[in-house]
Amino acid sequence: MTIISERKVPRKPFSLSLSPIILYEEERYVNQKNALTPWMFIGPAVLLLIAFSFIPILISLLISFTDMNLIGLRNWDMVDTVGLENFIALFQDPLFHTAIFNTLVYVSIGVPLVIICSLGVALLLNYMTSKLFTFFRVLFYVPSITNIVAIAVVWGFLYNMDVGLFNFILNSLGLGKVPWLEHPFIAKISLIILAVWKGIGINMLIYLAALQSIPKSFYEAADMDGANKFQKLRYITIPSLSYATFFVTVTTLIGWLQFFEEPFVMTGGGPLDGTMSMALFIYERGFQYNEFGYAAAASLILFVFIIVATLIQFTFNKSKEN
């Protein structure tokens, strides 16, 4: 007798059918959770930015329209609103004009020098062996993290007109002494040299990171086409560093517009206000003369300079990309 087996039809697993409302609620919950996740990470940074940047700017804006000083800081009833008088007085203040001029000199000379020197050092270190690379990378980076007071003491001896190393070398060559910190214009150049030396380190690391991220296949293809070192530098290396250069330029420009530590520690704005910067002018007016309203107005003008310079950089970079 032949037994014919019944064909077993596979049964679907038991499942609960979810209504469209439940599915919609679950999807909305997941979307809300995903939307909140980024804010959990950037929230602390945003709060710090608001607390230590936006709120102080707003307070400075309010103070700039008043005659606040130490007495007004103790008793707000003694503070009077003066409107635009602080800003009008600033534009009539010859010392503020000098501070603006000196700051523009610092920026126009210092920013290109920092960028060129940082890029040059990074290119040299990029072709060194591992041990030399590590040694010189540390050597160039140390000044950027060294305390400015310690640097000022060392460079003060180097710039000393009578017993300084620089004048000793110049005397040995028969060139005579140079008043490094005694002449207004030469003092500006001396501070620029110090600030450039101090500012190379961090920008050098940024360029080094960008150099090491360039694919080696680009250079291999250039070798196959017979390109020399200068052509590879011009057509591969420099264009590949455009984003790093943009970042370095923006941050360096902002830093030099706020040029403060070097003239404050080395010269105090002298001689004859020859090294007075806008940031140092704001500090002296606010914390030495206690003219908080006047200093706040000057700080807002400096803030406008920084915003305009940054917007110009972003506009130029965007047009270059297009």
For 278-303, what is each residue's pLDDT tens digit? 999 999 999 899 899 999 999 999 99
Q: How far is CA 309 from the centre of its chain?
A: 12
**Is pTM, for the whole model, over 0.85?**
no
CA distance 193 to 260: 14
Taking each helix axis as running N to C, give the angle between helix 148-159 and helix 165-172, from 0 to 180 degrees, rounded to the nearest 10.
30
Residue 104: give its domain's CATH number: 1.10.3720.10
- How large is the C-alpha radius of gyration of the chain? 30
pLDDT of res. 14: 44
Q: How far is CA 272 from the centre of its chain?
A: 29
**Residue 154: CA atoms inside 13 Å, Cβ hemisphere, count?**
10
Two structure tokens written together for 72: 């007004």
pLDDT of res. 188: 95
CA distance 273 to 122: 36
Given the structure tokens 């039809």, which residue do they identify? Answer: 9
User: 38-67 as b/e, with b when 16 or more CB fall inside 10 Å?
Assistant: eeeeeeeeeeeeeeeeeeeeeebeebbbbb
pLDDT of res. 197: 93
> Looking at the domain assignment, is residue 244 inside a domain?
yes
- Number of folded domains that form the chain: 1
How deeply is 210 buried, as exposed, middle or buried, from its count of CB atoms within 10 A (0-12, 13-18, 19+)?
buried
Cis status, amide bond into 271, omega within 30 of 0 = yes
Two structure tokens written together for 123: 């290119």
> Looking at the domain assignment, is residue 249 inside a domain?
yes
> Looking at the domain assignment, is residue 196 inside a domain?
yes
> Domain residues for 180?
96-321
pLDDT of res. 33: 64
> Looking at the domain assignment, is residue 82 inside a domain?
no
> Looking at the domain assignment, is residue 165 inside a domain?
yes
Per the CB < 8 A criterion, the answer to whether 112 and 252 are in contact is no
pLDDT of res. 2: 46
pLDDT < 50: residue spans in the chain: 1-6, 9, 12, 14-18
> Looking at the domain assignment, is residue 89 inside a domain?
no
> Looking at the domain assignment, is residue 291 inside a domain?
yes
Closest CA to 279 of 150, 102, 94: 102
> Looking at the domain assignment, is residue 50 inside a domain?
no
β-sheet bridge partners, residue 81: 66
- At 271, is the secondary structure helix, strand, or coil? coil
Residues 6+ apart with CB under 8 A from 72: 66, 78, 79, 292
